[in-house]
Amino acid sequence: MPSTSRLHPALAAVAARAASAGSPAVLFNVSHFGVGNGSVAPLPSTDIAPPTEQDHVATETLAFHPAAAGFQVHTWAPETPHKPVGGVSISRIAVGPQVDERNLACHLYGGSVVINPNFLYDPAHSTEILLTLGYETWQPDYADSLMIARVYQGVAAAAANGDGVPILFLQSPVAPFRDPPGRFREDGSGEAPRVANGMAMRVLIGLDEGHPQKRIALLGKISDLAQGYGLGLQIADRRFGRVRGEWWSVLAPDADRYAAAKAELFGWAPPGVPESVQLLTFVGPARVGSSAAIAADLMARNIGVLAVSAATLQEIAFINVMTPIAPARLTDTPTSGTCLPIVEGLGQVASDCGLTRRQGVRVRSRIGETAATDYQVLSTGPVSPRIAASAEHPLWLSWIIPLEHDAAKRPPDVAQLVLAQLCEAADRVAGGRIDYYRVRVLADGRVRGRAKVSVSLTEGIVRTHIPALLSELCAWAQREVVATLVRDHVPLRTIRLRLAWRERWLGRVSTVM
Amino acid sequence: MVSNAALTTRARSRTASRDRLASFLVALRQTPIPTSPPPHDSQQEALGLNLLALALRLEHIDRMSEALTLADSTHMARSVSIDVNMTVLTPEQIHALRSDPSGEYRPAAVWVPVARQSRTDLAPVVVRNAAGEVVPRLTQVETAHALIHGMSKAFRMFLNSDPRTEDPGELLHDIRHGLNRSRWLIEATIANMIDTGGRHSSPVSARSARHRATDSDSIRDKAARAVEDLFPDDSPFLRLLDIAASEYLLVAQVRTNKTQAFLRYDAPVLPARDRDLRGRATIARWGTFQHEFTVRYSTVIPRAVNSYHVTLEVPPEIQVRRFFLTSDVDAPALRTLVNDMRAVADSYQQLQGVSPKLLELELQGIVSRLAEFGRRRYRDLESFMAYIEDCYSTFSRRRPRFPARTEPPATITPAESLVPQRRIITGLGHLSHQYETDNLRKLADGSLGPETLNQWADALTASQVYSDIYVDNDPRENAGHAHWQRRPFGTDHQSVEPVSATVYMALVDDPPSLASNVSKLLLAVLLLVVGFGMVLQPQLFQHIPLLGPIGEKVGISTDGGPISSADAIVTMLLLVPGLMLSRLDIPSNKSVLGRLRIFPRYVAYTTVFVAGGLALTVASARSDHLAVPFVVAMAALLVLAVLVLVDGVTKAVKRRGRVPRSHVSPTWLISEIKRKPGRRKRCAANFSTIGPDDHA
């Protein structure tokens, strides 16, 4: 547990927020994007208005679009003590499918969760870990998806060990990082251009500063895991004054060992890149150990994980997983969605996505006795992902602007503006999309957001010229977007915006003047 | 030794946690069991919880200024001014805090907590705004009412969110669904604790032997078990309840039409600590002479406050010799660093076994933070030395000698800089220099081993490296002002723990003072007595140069009979000291000035007493019997003169003190300036707005 002195003010704040709202429950919308049967739908735009309540603003928004499919989560506190799901229910979690008429490629779920006041971790007291399976562009096959599931399980189990520490954020695929070679390093401020999405996993683990031995034990376990599977390991630089995005390399990835481990563990897995996936969201009150329980169950049923994004929004855990459907179970059925309690939901997922037929080795699931016992599973499938080896570069975006409550007067979403601006530079940018998007409405009425925009550059650019080109592009797009916001009547002095191709350059965001 | 202290602190906090649960269970046993549900009021719940959340963090307070006045030597009056930033409050908070419950969504005025006070401070407080108008306050009864609703709501949140409440076999399931009276009892206990201040004790501990479901013991047992299930010892809920029960919130009404508000209130007069008051009427108190009256004032600055000012103004007769403020703003950062050092030292081999790079990362993290501490504290040391130089310049041309400045700069190798030095801040300064010049790139090669890490951890804790210093910057002699600014530790997220700040002030009666006037009186009486002695008893001065010949010339022979001019001599001996004494400004015993002037007062009284005694002897004795009284009187006056001289020398030495050996001065400061740290002294008067437990 974190030191007690920090907990009681946090509890008072959480309880006050819940009491000020109409209900102790937090409302949420989960959107699953994607269409099946090999067709590809355009990615939805990001916005902070929840799909079911367009006149509201979500307190927290998360979007994760790893392929042509993805997830969006909005959470907000209700003004009246109602729940969006009909019927007489006193259960703490209620969820049901909703109809989204605007986007046919979207499966929408709405619900509410009563928050867990025991979960009082602060993302500021945390450590970040980057596990690299490989530096190449993300193109996992079935065995890789099982390896990702195994790594996810290993990390979650290490975090849940003993008293346990919570996983505040976990995502894969992400941009892998390697220490820059001399030609890119310059005076230390330079970096080699990175791949937008690689076989890597980024984990933010909440920690108690009062018990550093927990951190050391955890890092030891994760190092062992990385060494065992030949993964690269980088840890957020703990030196004074270092910011997010500065990594300390502990282990370099060992491709041979990874291949050997993959062959040894999952040599039986079907070959090839998955054609069809299911989108799953596990939702429930945030609790230490829930992620580990879910990961262990997925692994026990040989369910692979192509992409995963686990995050805590307003003390509610959302674990979004993209699982490959077993080749033997591929069907032409249209995409559909279900909401089930975790035991039944995982059973259903296992029958669709379990990559093995060895029924005999499976033990009875004990998920009902773990920290995830009351979670719900929202599942959409089959969906066709677009897993293509295209060279994309990540651009990190960070912004703070004042919140406009009136939807009619609200300026367009900043991340969308940046994307549109980047795409205007057609001579340099061939395409782009918003990979990751996280926005929070701050207590003081400002909107703070962070996003990762993946851009693919036009062909024929020499690799050593890419940094200069990206620098130019970022400065230009940043300036133009600020100008657009000012034209939309956002006062210039209130805009803080930074677009950078080196993540650590966002570390200290200053007012644009 | 240090780790023992750390262990004791940890053990004390564990005991406090257990006590909170135990006192809740005691209160539960003594609260009447309700027979109907307690009232629920969502507006009061939101108000109570928002008041509590805001009062704990006081994030809406941007600046805080305190003006201190010593009412007398054992009482301090405080006038507190705060700048409230209304933009920090969210629309939901503003709605929840509205002062008119039936008002619209955006109310014109809201209740805002401005301070937390101990329940022992019961004096009425009047809050005024920038225009000097009295601002309405929420009564303590209303605040308690809102807090009761809020804490009951928080309890229900804990109960409703627990997954065990959905398992029919669990007690918590029954408490939530069926055992209503046990649940109501817990809520009633919360109300009882907030109402009565959480103090409960029972004369009876016997329990009934019956175990029917409707028996009170059975209901209480279930409620007690449910509380134990829901709240572990260190539960933040119990801590919150403890604060709600033991403190009063000062809640004022603030209008929402402006983004900033200024409020001022006179806080209840603070009595000095019990120990300082205890000796108030004893003889020992009047037997202790003080050359300087030292005061320690401890308070709490909310961590969100960016700027804190503390001022002191004393009567013009008193000078403020030393005035500085120390705070533990870096305590969370140092605690984290020390914990990290001990943990890395414990698992040094394990980390090295896993990966030397992992060990290197940990060590680099530690050394980079050590270097930052070095930079910060060295800056503080420099500012303190400059302050003492300023103090010296008022009475001397000589500059104070500081080891950090007088000793030649030693060349320290990178390896030496990694070992804690006796003068820890100078050592940290060297380390910081080595780190900045890239000489400490490789640490995992054994240059910073586990023993050194433990040594650092012990040395950092023992020398209070977390304490910063802000010195007086008021140019007036009878006033002091220190300005504290928040310095976040790098990019670390700021902790929500409040900062405890301590002000040290040394007040003196410097020349022209009562002591100098008394020495004039003493000199006058001595001259008078010597003069009369030479006239009446010239033989006493026979062997004294200068005085002997004069005595022979002016001496009169009385032949052993009564002195003819005795009346005149007596009048002179009584009148001159009496007139001079009446012109001295001898203040009340209870004031600070009175405490500072005890010694000169005694000297003045003794001088007059000696003169009076001699006058009595001259009036009644024969002239040949006056030799002994004159010798005694002159000896007594000379002794007094020597004492006055010693007093003057002591004052001059104390004026040149480079660092006060007080409990307030951080240990690192004393060890940087003094060669031998010596014994630390307690201040003459100690005031604190913090609870008595937290006081050193």
**Cα–Cα distance for residue pair A28/A187, rounded to 1 Å:** 46
pLDDT digits (tens, 9 = 90+) for B340-374: 999 999 999 988 888 899 999 999 999 999 999 99
Cα dihedral sign, A34-A39-A43-A44: negative
Q: What is the DSSP letter of B673?
A: H
Tell me the longest C-alpha to C-alpha distance in chain B. 118
What's the mean pLDDT in A449-470?
Answer: 90
Task: Choose among A6, A115, A239: nearest Cβ to B364.
Answer: A239
Residue of B nearest to A238 (CA): B365
Is there a contact between B237 and A11 if contact means CB atoms under 8 Å apart? yes
ipTM for this prediction: 0.88
**Backbone Cα Rg of chain A:** 22
Chain B contact for A239, CB < 8 A?
yes
**Residue B200 bridge partners (DSSP):** none
Profile chain B (696 residues) by mean pLDDT over runs of 10 residues: 40 63 87 89 90 87 91 87 88 85 78 83 80 90 92 89 80 86 92 81 55 74 90 85 87 90 88 66 62 88 85 89 92 90 93 90 93 93 93 86 75 84 89 90 87 94 92 90 84 65 89 78 88 81 77 69 74 85 78 83 89 87 80 91 89 87 90 82 83 41
**Cα–Cα distance for residue pair B240/A3, rounded to 1 Å:** 15
Which regions of B181-336 does DSSP assign to beta strands (E)?
A: 247-255, 260-271, 292-301, 307-313, 319-327
Q: What is the predicted pLDDT for the residue at B5?
A: 40
Chain B contact for A504, CB < 8 A?
no
**Residue A100 bridge partners (DSSP):** none
3-state SS, A65-81, equals: CCCCCEEEEEEECCCCC
Classify the phi-psi angles of B356: left when phi > 0, otherwise alpha if psi is within -120 to 50, otherwise beta: alpha
Q: Is A168 helix (H, G, I), strand (E, B) or coil?
A: strand
Cα dihedral sign, A117-A122-A126-A129: positive
Is there a contact between A13 and B53 if contact means CB atoms under 8 Å apart? yes
Structure tokens at B152: 């009951």
Q: What is the predicted pLDDT for the residue at B642?
A: 93
**The residue type at A431:** G
**CA angle (B119 as vertex; B114, B125 as ends), nearest 5:** 50
Do A140 and A148 meet the contact criterion of CB atoms below 8 Å apart? Answer: yes
Q: What is the predicted pLDDT for the residue at B200?
A: 61
Q: What is the predicted pLDDT for the residue at B666?
A: 92
First vs last C-alpha separation in chain A:
43
Do A171 and A306 meet the contact criterion of CB atoms below 8 Å apart? Answer: no
Is there a contact between A125 and B340 if contact means CB atoms under 8 Å apart? no
**Backbone Cα Rg of chain B:** 34
Q: Which residues of A touch B160 (CB under 8 A)?
A: 24, 92, 114
Do B110 and B50 meet the contact criterion of CB atoms below 8 Å apart? Answer: no
Q: What is the predicted pLDDT for the residue at A21?
A: 74
Q: What is the predicted pLDDT for the residue at B284?
A: 59
Indicate whether A249 pLDDT > 80.
Answer: yes
Which regions of A138-254 does DSSP assign to beta strands (E)?
A: 167-172, 198-206, 232-236, 247-251
Structure tokens at A86: 């009909």
Q: Is A32 helix (H, G, I), strand (E, B) or coil?
A: strand
Structure tokens at A444: 């003081």
Is there a contact between B163 and A241 if contact means CB atoms under 8 Å apart? no
Residue of A nearest to B97 (CA): A20
Dihedral, CA atoms, B427, B428, B429, B435, nearest 10 degrees?
Answer: 120
Do A199 and A140 meet the contact criterion of CB atoms below 8 Å apart? Answer: yes
Give A118's Cβ-side CA count (13 Å radius).
21
Q: Which residues of A touch B491 (CB under 8 A)?
A: 241-243, 507-508
Do B321 and B510 meet the contact criterion of CB atoms below 8 Å apart? Answer: yes
Chain B contact for A248, CB < 8 A?
yes
Q: What is the predicted pLDDT for the residue at B482?
A: 94
Q: Is B87 helix (H, G, I), strand (E, B) or coil?
A: helix
**Cα–Cα distance for residue pair B540/A422, rounded to 1 Å:** 110
Q: What is the DSSP letter of B667?
A: H
Structure tokens at A160: 């849940």
**Cα–Cα distance for residue pair B247/B197, rounded to 1 Å:** 8
CB-neighbour burial class of residue B246 (10 A; exposed 0-12, middle 13-18, buried 19+): middle
State how beta strands A429-441 and A70-76 pair.
unpaired
Tally of CB atoms within 10 A around A326? 22
Q: What is the predicted pLDDT for the residue at A143?
A: 92
Structure tokens at A347: 């059973």
**Cα–Cα distance for residue pair B47/B111, rounded to 1 Å:** 9
Q: What is the predicted pLDDT for the residue at A235?
A: 93
The pLDDT > 90 percentage for chain B reads: 27
**Cα–Cα distance for residue pair B175/B164, rounded to 1 Å:** 11
**The residue type at B147:** L
Q: Which residues of B touch A217 (CB under 8 A)?
A: 347
Among B472, B498, B475, B492, residue whose Cα is nearest residue B483: B472
**Cα–Cα distance for residue pair B573/B637, rounded to 1 Å:** 14
**Cα–Cα distance for residue pair B605/B602, rounded to 1 Å:** 5
Residue of B nearest to A405 (CA): B91
Count how many pairs of residues, chain A against chain B, have C-beta atoms within 8 Å. 181
First vs last C-alpha separation in chain B:
17
**Cα–Cα distance for residue pair B426/B377, rounded to 1 Å:** 9
**Cα–Cα distance for residue pair A265/A357, rounded to 1 Å:** 16
Do B453 and B442 meet the contact criterion of CB atoms below 8 Å apart? Answer: no
H or E element that contains B481: strand B479-485
Q: Which long-range contacts (CB under 8 A, 24 or more apart) does B285-289 make?
A: B286/B589, B286/B598, B288/B598, B289/B598, B289/B599, B289/B647
Is there a contact between B350 and A220 if contact means CB atoms under 8 Å apart? yes
Task: Choose among A12, A21, A213: nearest Cβ to B240.
Answer: A12
Residues in Cβ contact with B160 at an 8 Å cutoff, skipping those fewer than 6 apart: A24, A92, A114, B176
- Closest Cα in chain B, distance from residue A215 (Å): 9
Main-chain dihedrals φ then ψ at residue B271, nearest 5 degrees: -80, 155
**Cα–Cα distance for residue pair A423/B373, rounded to 1 Å:** 47
H or E element that contains A255: helix A255-266
Substitution target from A11, A235, A287, A370 for chain B, most B beta carbons within 10 A: A11
Q: What is the DSSP letter of B541?
A: G
Structure tokens at B519: 């020495």
Q: Which residues of A touch B54 (CB under 8 A)?
A: 16
Do A415 and A511 meet the contact criterion of CB atoms below 8 Å apart? Answer: no
Substitution target from A57, A129, A239, A375 for chain B, most B beta carbons within 10 A: A239
Helical H segments across B347-479, by residue range:
348-354, 356-393, 403-406, 414-417, 424-436, 450-462
Is there a contact between A11 and B344 if contact means CB atoms under 8 Å apart? no
Structure tokens at B381: 């040391």
Q: Which residues of B touch A237 (CB under 8 A)?
A: 361, 365
Is there a contact between B347 and A445 if contact means CB atoms under 8 Å apart? no
pLDDT level of residue A396 (50, 70, 90 thresholds) = very high
Does the reported pTM lie above 0.90?
Answer: no
Do B20 and B171 meet the contact criterion of CB atoms below 8 Å apart? Answer: no
**Cα–Cα distance for residue pair B630/B626, rounded to 1 Å:** 6
**Cα–Cα distance for residue pair A500/A394, rounded to 1 Å:** 9
Residue of A nearest to B56 (CA): A9
pLDDT digits (tens, 9 = 90+) for A63-118: 998 877 889 999 988 776 655 444 444 566 777 777 666 666 688 998 888 877 77
Q: Is A193 helix (H, G, I), strand (E, B) or coil?
A: coil
Is there a contact between B361 and A224 if contact means CB atoms under 8 Å apart? no
Among B42, B81, B37, B90, residue whose Cα is nearest residue B63: B81
**Cα–Cα distance for residue pair B87/B60, rounded to 1 Å:** 8
Is there a contact between A216 and B88 if contact means CB atoms under 8 Å apart? no
pLDDT level of residue A388 (50, 70, 90 thresholds) = confident
Indicate whether A144 pLDDT > 70.
Answer: yes
| Residue that is written with structure tokens 């586990």 in the block | B450
Give B654's Cβ-side CA count (13 Å radius).
19
pLDDT digits (tens, 9 = 90+) for A32-61: 988 887 777 777 888 888 888 888 889 999
Tell me how far the alpha carbon of residue B439 is from its chain's centroid.
Answer: 41
Residue of A nearest to B16 (CA): A4
Q: What is the predicted pLDDT for the residue at A512?
A: 35
Structure tokens at A269: 């897995």
**Cα–Cα distance for residue pair B223/B181, rounded to 1 Å:** 9
**Residue A201 bridge partners (DSSP):** A131
Q: Report A:284-303 residues touching B (Cβ under 8 A).
A: 285
